[in-house]
Amino acid sequence: MTKYLDVATIRQDFPLLTAPFHGKRLVYLDSAVSGQVPLPAIERMHHYEAYEHTNVHRGVSTLSQEATDSYEGAREKVRALLNAPSSKQVIWTRGTTESINLVAQAWGRQNVKEGDEILLSAMEHHANIVPWQLLAQEKGAKIKVIPMNDRGELILEDLDGLLTERTKIVGVTQVSNVLGTINPVKEIIAKAHAKGIPVLVDGAQGVPHMPVDVQDLDCDFYVFSGHKLSGPTGIGVLYGRKELLEAMPPWHGGGSMILSVTWEKTVFMGIPAKLEAGTPAITQAIGLGAAIDYLKGLSFDRIAAHEHALLQYATDRLKAIEGLRIIGEAANKASVISFVLEGIHPHDIGSILDHEGIVVRAGHHCAQPVMQHFQVPATTRASLAYYNDEADVDALVVGIQKVKDIFG
Amino acid sequence: MSDPRELYQQVIIEHNKKPRNFGKLEPCTHHAHGLNPLCGDDIEITLVIENGIVQDLKFQGHGCAISQASSSLMTTNVKGKPVEEAEQMVEEFRAMIRGSLDPTKDPNILGRLSLFQGVRDLPSRVKCAVLPWATLHSAIKGEDVTSTE
């Protein structure tokens, strides 16, 4: 534990972390893949399914009205979390990937033309690359890249030159899922706005690690996934500037998003409904709301301070291992550590650690351009959360020693 | 789950460190590229097949110890064998990894390749072990690219 959080008590809210796993203590160092869900959020979803289940925005029944209140209440919790001006600017999606696809398709198709440029950072997850490539191919637009240095920091000196009159949007991750780099998104947004260019911030790895204020950032779009924030899978968020969301055409059509339908013409509802066709992930939205309450109870400031202290501890211990190289050494990092071991492939490391009950991610982390930059086929990644402590890091160090012993 | 030490035996560690028949045959009669998009294993196999015999074969590329050692041991086992026998090994190797063939009981021609039997207990690594064999199969069939996905 650190002086910021009482991890032993927190872990009582996570049955997976306290129950034996293949006869061992589970060391979960993979929260960047998915955050564990605390019992209060699980119980809230269980209660909804058991005692409150119906559909939302349907009819006059008390049951439906109460479900709607809970569901819209979760939207308000997200609004408060991001300090968005209005909950109407919080669009539910299935996750970060769907949020970015929504922007690329609904906003992008309307605004990106042949010869235009889409500027992305060198450390984007595939979710913030591929939707833009699809759009660029369709429109004859071009993808340009903000480069990074070998510490894994964006080279901002190059940014001004890359923001041209053809640039239609900038997409940048708040925190790299591989390198842990915390990008200076506020500065990037200011520079883009100086030239009238909107910015989408991928907050999938940002919002779990730090307080987020979309008005202070002044971003145009902010996207994240519920399951990285200790909520369930299947729910995510697109925050957007009001004028941009209102000007966007619907992406999907269907129920819930219309004012009236005739064979000749459909009149759409305003935001957020216009962008949310069909029955939504009600249980998941309510569960995410409960997860946000839980994290707020711990305090995002304390979570950030705890993770920072743990990151420092883990970095020092890992660096002391001979033959281990940390990939991503930015001055400003969140608690994500990628590393390689000389002569040992990450998948072999991952399999051996797995047997020790240590869960890490081994692979390209859906960020192949980052692997190409550092000229590694893959890395092993340990990601630390508010329910991890020094004992987890110590177990990882012992596990890595075992890997080295096996490989002699 | 079995102890990974049972899988990461000395032979596999050693073949990973010093892979046999590493490189590229030019000219070759058959070749294929094998990709495991999930984890990034990437190998290329080149063969010289004459009169129905695998006269020579080499592989190159990168991947984990399992896929590298599996590739290396594949080349040493297939080299000089009739194509039918190589195809039989492909089938038997796959069956062993799937768990439908037990090399300690069922008749087979796998020989030392039975070292990889432990992979069947590591479902996430099955594709790594099978990749070179799937690629060999593609090369023999005249397909350029194969994927274990």
C-alpha A221/C-alpha A103 separation (Å) is 8
> Which chain B residues are within 8 Å of A368, Cβ to Cβ?
40
Count helices and strands (H / E) in chain A.
Answer: 16, 17
What integer pLDDT is reported at residue B6 of this predicted model? 75
How far from A369 is each of A122, A145, A163, B1, CA to CA, in Å?
Answer: 7, 11, 21, 34
- pLDDT tens series, chain B, 149 aa: 467 777 788 889 999 999 999 999 999 999 999 988 777 788 999 999 999 999 999 999 989 999 999 999 999 999 999 999 999 999 999 999 999 999 999 999 999 999 999 888 888 889 999 999 999 999 999 887 777 65
Q: Pairing between strand A236-240 and A221-225?
A: antiparallel
Residues of B in contact with A362 (CB under 8 A): 39
Give the per-residue pLDDT at B2. 61
Residue A366 burial (CB count, 10 A) = 17
The CATH number of A7-30+299-407 is 3.90.1150.10
Classify A144 as helix, strand or coil: strand
Of residues B38, B65, B122, nearest to A345 (C-beta): B65
Looking at this protein, which amino acid is placed at residue A289? G
CATH of the domain at B129: 3.90.1010.10
B-chain residue closest to A353, CA distance: B4
Which of B36, B64, B70, B124 should one mutate to test binding to chain A, selecting the residue with the greatest count of A CBs within 10 A?
Answer: B64
Tell me the angle at which helices B65-78 and B126-141 cross, rounded to the nearest 10 degrees.
40
Partners of B63 on chain A (C-beta within 8 Å) are 345, 347, 377
Pair type for strands B145-147 and B30-36:
parallel
**Is A81:A292 a contact under the CB 8 Å cutoff?**
yes
In a domain, B149, yes or no: no
- Provide the β-strand partners of residue B43: B34, B61
Q: Do A346 and B63 touch (CB under 8 A)?
A: no
Query: Which residues sit opposite B41 in a β-bridge?
Result: B36
β partners of residue A344: A341
Q: How many Cα atoms within 13 Å fall on the side-chain side of residue A216?
A: 7
User: What is the torsional sign of CA A4, A34, A284, A26?
Assistant: negative
Segments making up each domain of chain A, as ranges: 7-30+299-407, 43-296
CA distance B36 to A364: 12
Measured at the CA of A224, the angle between CA A219 and CA A229, to 5 degrees, comes to 130
CA dihedral A191, A195, A270, A112 (to 10 degrees): -110
A24 touches chain B (CB under 8 A): no
Query: Residue B76's domain spans which residues?
Result: 4-143
Mutation site, B39, B70, B126, interface A, largest A CB count within 10 A: B39
Looking up tokens 């599996």 gives B70
- Of A166, A208, A179, the residue nearest A121 (C-alpha): A179
The structural domain count of chain B equals 1
Q: Please give the pLDDT value at position B148.
A: 66
Q: Which residues of chain A have pLDDT under 70?
A: 1
Q: Extract the tokens encoding A166.
A: 């053809």
* Dihedral Cα A33, A217, A303, A378, nearest 10 deg: 30
Whole-model pTM?
0.93
- What pLDDT is stored for residue B1 in this prediction? 46
Label residue A239 left, alpha or beta by phi (over 0 means left) and psi (-120 to 50 means alpha).
Answer: beta
Beta sheet of B145-147, edge-to-edge order:
B53-62, B41-50, B30-36, B145-147
CATH number assigned to the domain covering A43-296: 3.40.640.10
- What is the predicted pLDDT for the residue at A321? 98
pLDDT of residue A3: 87
For B119, name the nearest residue in chain A, comparing CA atoms only: A351
A364 touches chain B (CB under 8 A): yes
Contact A330, A179 (CB under 8 A): yes
Partner-chain contact A347 B39, CB within 8 Å: yes
User: For residue A359, what pLDDT is reported?
Assistant: 97
Amino acid at position A12, single letter: Q
A23–chain B Cβ distance below 8 A for any pair: no
A325 has which bridge partners? A340
ipTM of the complex: 0.86
What is the Cα–Cα distance from A396 to A402, expressed in whole angstroms? 10
Q: Would you state the structure tokens that stand for residue B134, as one six-digit string?
A: 């799937």
A346:B64 CB<8 A: yes
Question: What tokens does B36 get?
Answer: 């495991």
Whole-number Cα distances in Å, A386 to A166, A232, A400: 42, 17, 22
Distances (CA, A) of B15 to A111, A379, B47: 55, 22, 20
Query: How many residue contacts between A and B have a Cβ separation below 8 Å?
Result: 52
Which residues on chain B are in Cβ contact (under 8 Å) with A363?
38-40
Count of helices and strands (H, E) across chain B: 5, 4
Q: What are the tokens at B37?
A: 């998009």
Q: How far apart are CA A134 and CA A136, in angstroms?
A: 6
Burial of A57 (0-12, 13-18, 19+ CB in 10 A): middle
Nearest in space to B22 (alpha carbons), one of B4, B38, B40, B45: B45
